[in-house]
Each structure stands twice: as C-alpha cells, then as structure tokens.
Amino acid sequence: MIRNSPDTGPLLEMENVSVNFPVKGPYPFSKKRWIQAVTNVSLQVSEGETFGIVGESGCGKTTLANAMIGMVRPTAGTVRFQGVDLYSLKPQVFREARREMQMIFQDPFSSLNPRFSVYEIIREPLYIRGQASETAMKAKVLELLKLVGLDEDDMYRYPSDFSGGQRQRIGIARAIILNPRFLVCDEPVSALDVSVHAQILNLLMDIQKSRHLTYVFVSHNLAVVKNICQNMVVMYLGTIMESGSSDAIFANPLHPYTKALLSAVLDIDVTKPRDRILLKGDTPSPIDPPPGCRFWQRCPSAMKGCATIPAKLAEVEPGHPVACHLISGFSPQQVADGLHEPVSPKSGG
C-alpha cells in the first residue's frame, strides 16, 4: 500500500453509506423486510484526529464502525480509506489495504478467545501475517504488555484470569501490534466498571499521542466524547442528526435530539436550574422506518411535515450541518399547506 501524504484528503471518507440487514418475515415468502441499521451516512475522518460517534443503544454505531473497517459490506455508498475504495477491491488486495485498520471491541469478555493464552492473543495478528519469528514476536508482545500496563508474567495466563479492564488492555495491545494508523474504539469502556474508565481512556490517549493514531471513538457517553473528540456525529436510528466539531456542537446544539441528549447528561453546573428535555417513548424499531425525520415520534418540537418529508443535512454555520426542518425550514408551498405547524402544543415536559 502506498501511503498518501496526509494533506491529499481525509484518511477515511464515507459517502452516502447505507447498511441494511434482511429480517425474516413472519411466514415464508412474505415480503422481505429490512433493518435499516445505517442510512445515507457521509463523514470524513482526517489524519490524527479523534472522531466521535454518539447515539443511543441500537442506533447503528457498531454497524457504522464495522462498515468503516471493512467488516460489513454496505448496501449502498462508498468507503474510502487513504483514497482507495475499500469495497471495490479484490479480496487479496482488500486484506492488504485493511492492514492499517484495527478495532477495540465493546465487550472485552467476548473479544478474547478463552482458549488462547495472553501471549497467543496479542501476537495473533503478527502470527497471521506470518513474517515474524517466534523470538521477534515474543519481544514485541513483551514490549506491548509493558505499554498497556500488564506484567511479563501475565503472558502465559488465560483471559479468565483477568478483570474486564485488564482484558480491555489485552485487546488494546492486540489492536496496536501491527502498528495501525486507524483505530476504531467501539465503546471501549461501556462494559467496564466505572472505576477503570479513566485508566483505559488515558491509556488510549497516551497511545494515540505516542503513535500518531487516528481514532474513531464510538460512545454513548457524551462527557467522554466532549473531552477527547475533535469532531463528532450524533446518530439516531441509523442516520446522522448533527455533525461538526465537538466544540461547536457542545456549545451550540441545534438539533432537538442533540439538545435532549445534552440536557440529560451534561448537568455539571448544579447552580443552574435543570431544565431537562425528557423524551417520550422508546426508540422506534429500525425495521422499515417512515420516510420523514426518524426522530419525529419523540421530538418535542415536531411539526406536521416532519413525519413525511425527509430532513436533509443543511449547514447552519460552516462545518456544522444539522438535519432538522426547524433549521432548514419548509418551502413556501409546504408552509402554505400548513406543514410547519406544531403537531401538538408542548408543555415543556
């Protein structure tokens, strides 16, 4: 793989990516239905940054992350890594092109094979590449063990001997042994005890600094994203609701969903009265969602047109697009039809 110089474009670029999963119908030969896990997502991750993906559980974050690194073939759209369209490559070249991408998994308990020793787990990527000798691999594993804060003695122990946080460290060592440039962290701490969150995050940040990595950081924890991400997208039911630099989004959230999320989490200033926006209902099913704004059933400021007319991403300020009719407005014709009227009077609750 020829490395493009950093200034020729983003390291990773997704264009109108959609991922659908078929669901079995209630009876054979019934009309095929689709889970629209990710719909029409475009984003760019530039070299060296930490890019956040935020959203509720089940909104398609993992699916999107998998599509980025070539683990899930998108139904539509293109994914370009270093300017190369990943999914148009032949399998052999594809494997080569992907060698600089790695992932840290959400669940540290299912991400390590219980039958492998720590040494076998960490060296596995090198072993698969098959170019390093046993002694070279051992030295490398030892170096990484120290880096992630584990002992030399841990090398021949098995995953069941370790706590969640330690397992995640093992997973991190495995992910960086091939010196990747691009690392997807899929909620690396959400399955862990709160007390070790900071340690793991600090470790990740140290590694990023010392190895000049680009991170995509998936999370549903807004405070974490605020602290470590430069740019981010907010997802809801498979679509991007708002994107931009995290400074801009946290300072000036524009989408009703983002506002609700922020009001629920970032109540650090206890002196101010809390005016939390409570969302009614649950996340609707991602199977065959309605054509309009995906958020309309739960949106506190939904308008009559929201259910039927798709909300397109529109830039409010440079580099801060938002998908909401409140921002982009309706056309004069639609306004004349009364589509901009609120669905029901809201009482702020």
Partner 1 sequence: MSRPNVLLQVAQRGGSLVSFVRKLWQHPQGRLGLILAGWLVLVAILAPILAPYDPYDVTQRAAKGLRPSWQHPLGTTTTTGQDIFSMLIYGSRVSLMIGIGTGVALAFLGALMGVMAGYLGGFVDNLIMRVVDVMLVIPTLPLIIVLTSLLGRSYFVIVLVFVIFGWTGLARVIRSLVLVLKNSNYVKAAELAGASRWYIMTKHILPGTSHLIIMNTALTSAGIMVAEAGLSFLGLGDPTAISWGKMLAEAQGGGALLFGAWWWIIAPGIGIFLSVFSFMRIGIVIEEVFNPRMKASSSIYKLFKHLNNTYLDEVFRSMEEEETLVREPPDRSNAPTPEGCHG
Ligand X SMILES: Nc1ncnc2c1ncn2[C@@H]1O[C@H](COP(=O)(O)OP(=O)(O)OP(=O)(O)O)[C@@H](O)[C@H]1O
- List interacting residues with partner 1 (CB under 8 A): 69, 71, 95-96, 98-99, 101-103, 105-107, 110-116, 121, 124-125, 128-130, 157-161, 171, 174-175, 178
According to CB under 6 A, which one of 302, 321, 330, 339 is a site residue for ligand SF4? 302
- Whose CB is nearest to Mg ion? 62
Among ligand SF4, Mg ion, partner 1, none, what binds residue 62 when CB lies within 5 to 8 Å by partner kind? Mg ion
Nearer to ligand X, 282 or 315 (CB): 282
From candidates 62, 102, 214, 297, binder to Mg ion by CB under 5 A = 62
- Which listed range, 61-69, 223-231, 265-273, 288-296, lies at the site for Mg ion (CB under 5 A)? 61-69
Query: How many residues make contact with ligand SF4 (CB under 6 A)?
Result: 13
Contacts of 61 (CB under 8 A, 6+ apart): 53, 54, 55, 186, 187, 218, 220, 235
DSSP sequence for 181-204: SEEEEESTTTTS-HHHHHHHHHHH
Cβ neighbours around 318 below 10 Å, total: 8
Task: Please give the Cα distance from 331 to 128 (Å, whole number).
Answer: 57
Query: Under a CB-based contact definition with an 8 Å cutoff, are residues 229 and 51 in contact?
Result: yes
CA distances from 187 to 153, 180, 230, 232 (A): 28, 19, 17, 14
Extract the tokens encoding 138: 């051992």
Please report, as residue ranges, which positions from 25 to 44 form the binding site for ligand X (by CB under 6 A).
35, 37
63 makes contact with Mg ion (CB under 5 A) = no
286 binds, among partner 1, Mg ion, ligand X, none (CB under 5 to 8 A by kind): ligand X
Question: Taking contact as CB under 6 A, which single stretch among the options 50-58, 168-176, 182-190, 322-330 is the one that binds ligand SF4?
Answer: 322-330
Distance CA 155, CA 32 (A): 49
Q: Which of 226, 238, 220, 102 is nearest to 172 (CA)?
A: 102
**Interface residue list for ligand SF4 (CB under 6 A):** 256, 293, 295-296, 299, 301-303, 306, 311, 324-326
